[in-house]
Structure 1
Amino acid sequence: HNQYDSARSETYNTVTYNGQFIFLNLSYSSLIVRGFLSTDTVNVANLNVKNQTFAEVVDISNEHLFDRYEQELDGLLGLSYSNISVGGITPVFDNIIEQGLVSSRIFSFYLNRDTSADLGGTLILGGSDPTYYEGDFTYIPVTRKGYWQITIDRIKMTSEDLCEESCQVVVDTGSSLITGPELDIARLIHLLELMNIKQNYLKVDCNRIFQLPTIRFIMGGKAFDLTGKDYIIRHPNHESICTSIFFTYDSYNSEIKWILGMPFIGRYYTEFDMERDRVGFALAK
């Protein structure tokens, strides 16, 4: 890992309470990290964010789960609303805005679906870049601030409808999957004729990818289509094995039913707008 060394920084400040370091236990997905708070200048995209408080991690549970990634991760950068920030710490993007480093409370993501390309994707702070999308954005209002929570009107596939009376979804750049309720995912498995060879591991014949039906996510009155090549991927270590990106979501929050992760964002360039509390989608190039 690339590691932060406060002893080498002239702008480092300790964060203490009654003379003691402040330790935090943070949960993220299946990981629990333990660390203590520090403050320093953080450089993101050549922007120097002054007096940014962050956690220096000293222990990670289930660290072996990072093995699923082809490169090591050195840290996590949260981009949700500040009202769910652990310990009331001001998030990086909020400080970027407060310090006038960008003019707009908007950030956006382009994720390249071509795994052989040099550019894996781009995070744009302060707006969007039409180089990476085509057409206009369709904007969906945020229904509850915290996570980027919006409404799906319906999910359609051939003759079947899921989420028939609308449901709540979180758009999450930190998820590599599209997840939903157990019953809905079971219906998808049946309709797509996927082979559930072990828990949440859905295999499909790679030759069937282009024969699989289109799945339509209806949001804001517009259909956002995913085809077989969007929701079936080749195993990174076994090119002959194809798996689905649909998994069951065991929600601790009964209101949130689905999570739209990277497979959806890869297909649709995504803009997160804190000024107007909305999420915009446009077809990615």
Structure 2
Amino acid sequence: MNVPPAAVLLLILVSVRDAHSISLASSPVRRLPWQYRSLTKRLGLSKPFRERLQRPISNSYNLPVPDYFRVSATTRNIRLRNFNDNIYYGTITIGTPGQKFNVVFDTDAKLTWVPSTSRSFRQSFRELTESFDVGQNSMRQGPNRRNRGTTNKYDNKLSSTYEANGRPFVVSYGSEAASGFRSQDNMEIAGATIYNQIFGEATLEPKMFSGSMIDGIFGLGFSGISAGEELTVLDNMVNQGLLPAPIFSFYHSRYGTDDPDSVLTLGGTNPEYYTGDFTFINLSRPDRWQFEIDRVQFSDGVGTNRGQKCQAVLDTGSSFIVGPRDDVDELHAWLGATPLEGDPTLYMFERYQLEILPDLEFIVNGQKLTLTSKDYVSKFPDEVTGGFYSGIAGKTFKEGESPVWTLGLNFLRTYYTQFDKGNRRVGFANAT
């Protein structure tokens, strides 16, 4: 039975760990005083050296940025492309001149990483074997002959603003991982340049990224609290005066509607994409977009978590809602769903069931966050059976590990969501 590859990719991501072109404000270009720019040219300094002079050295040490490097702090909109409601991705550039990358903006990741032209032996060997056609005993021709991983790769030798860091990183995705080393360079997003941003150069990428339109991950989690850990891109943007507040908000469109694009707003919210007031919930952890839920239930009162409170995390890197296996099995048994052959953590519904499925409710601080069956059931039928996949998957937690619900894209499409780092809270409003 075939599960959409993009959905599997995003489900694995969660198991372990421009859309609208109108800007809320213009983004003036950073420029040095004309006397300084003219002097560097008259002295005949090379472009790379001029760029190093023009870079605010103070940012390397988290010091205030000189006034002539600042632009006005403003909210910034980033267009996100919607791929079948399973992946939402946007574009960033790294280096001078800029090298473009398509990234998933992941709220459950700290480090931003992209593929590197520097390859590990393991990655190089895997690419060689995957591109070798045993049946014909020859290398595949045409488009498949290229690297089986992602297309865009960062080459630090091409950037005049690159600085070595070298500290290794590993990010696990199920049984696979992205690994490599950290580097420092300028990064551009939504017309703003972030100086001296530390990010990961992946020399080994998970197979799940092969053939994907995604190059890497843009971390929207919290900066590490341990000594020596780098600041996230969002925190650096606030420190460098590019954003008015450490806030970001998502509008996720629905595939097949008149509004196919989605928007990530950095620095605040965009009223064009929500109605009414926000319902705010304080975070229960200082290092994750996690909060407490009173109860998970259906609209007729049938529920789970046995009357006990539980935890939930918001994750834009997951296309599913994921819950403790026992609770998810119980919910689907009551709904009459069928476990997926070969993967009992997933369920399917018959077409006739779709019209009678109840709403799913998450009770938080006595208030209901409600999803209809159209929100938690896939709109795409299985090619073989004609059934429809449930958007609620089960996960078995290790002994001693606290069960946590993950609210992925099928939840976030229903609500315009504000992530407020400064006040350690999240806010929900009805999406337009």
Q: How many residues align?
A: 276
Q: 1:256 to 1:201 in 2, by over 3 A?
A: closer
| Deviation at residue 126 of structure 1 after TM alignment | 0.4
Q: 1:219 aligns with which of 364, 386, 397?
A: 364
Q: What residue identity is the alignment partner of 2:310? A: C
Match of 1:14 in 2: 164
Q: Deviations over 1:140-183 (max 9, x none)?
A: 00011111010111112123122322111111111111111111
Q: Aligned AA for 1:190?
A: A
Q: 1:156 to 1:277 in 2, by over 3 A?
A: same
Structure 1 Cα separation of the partners of residues 378 and 225 of structure 2: 33
Tell me the CA shift for residue 119 of structure 1: 3.5
- Amino-acid identity (%): 36
Name 2:20's counterpart in structure 1.
Answer: none
Instruction: Name the residue aligned to 2:332.
Output: 189
Contact map agreement 1:135 1:283 (CA 8 A) in 2: yes
In the alignment, structure 1 residue 162 sits paired with structure 2 residue 304: yes
**Displacement of 1:197:** 2.6
| Counterpart AA for 2:163 | N
> Would you say the 8 A contact 1:138–1:220 is kept in 2?
no
Structural mapping, 1:30-45, within 5 Å: 30-45=175-190
The two structures have a TM-score, normalised by structure 2, of: 0.60
- Distance in 1 (CA, whole Å) between partners of 2:179 and 2:422 is 33
Unmatched 5+ stretches in structure 1: 16-20
Residue 153 (structure 1) aligned to one of 294, 299, 315: 294
Superposition pairs of residues 30-69 of structure 1, within 5 angstroms: 30-61=175-206, 63=207, 65-66=208-209
> For structure 1, which segment, 260-269 or 85-94, has the greater mean C-alpha deviation from structure 2 after superposition?
85-94
| Mapped pair 1:272 → 2:411 | no
State whether residues 23 and 34 of structure 1, in contact with CA within 8 Å, keep that contact through their aligned partners in structure 2.
Answer: yes
Per the alignment, residue 39 of structure 2 pairs with none
Q: Give the aligned partner of residue 250 of structure 1.
A: 396
Q: Residue 252 of structure 2 corresponds to which residue in structure 1?
A: 111
State which structure, 1 or 2, has the greater radius of gyration over its C-alpha atoms: 2
Q: Say which SS state the counterpart of residue 319 (structure 2) adopts.
A: coil
What CA distance in whole angstroms lies between the structure 2 residues aligned with 1:86 and 1:232? 43
Structure 1 stretch 210-219 or stretch 153-162: which is displaced more? 153-162
How does the TM-score come out when normalised to structure 1? Answer: 0.89
Q: Whole-Å Cα distance in 2 between the matches of residues 242 and 152 of structure 1?
A: 28
CA contact (8 A) 1:210 1:229 kept: no
CA RMSD of aligned residues (A): 2.3
Deviation at 1:211, TM superposition (A): 1.4
1:18 maps to what in 2?
none
